[in-house]
Amino acid sequence: MTAAETERPSLGKVYDAINEVKLDVAVIKAALPDIADHEARIRAIEKRQYTLAGLASIAGAALGAIVQRFTI
């Protein structure tokens, strides 16, 4: 092993590395879309999905009643 591989890092180097990681995380965090907005969009899609499922159930029941009325 070389001297550079066995040398212990100084506190200053560790501090610089941590600050670099902090800056990287800040950049990544700023680039990500807002999570709350994502949750709101998912909830809106689910609301539409369940509304359509309910309407389909009502329409199916009504159609079944109409068909039964004319076939008996």
- Per residue in 9-65, pLDDT (tens digit) is 889 999 999 999 999 999 988 887 776 678 888 999 999 999 999 999 999 999 999
Instruction: Classify each residue of 61-70 as buried b or exposed e, where b means 16 or more C-beta atoms within 10 Å of its C-beta.
Output: eeeeeeeeee
Higher pLDDT, 34 or 8: 8
pTM for the whole structure? 0.48
Higher pLDDT, 1 or 32: 32
pLDDT of residue 29: 85
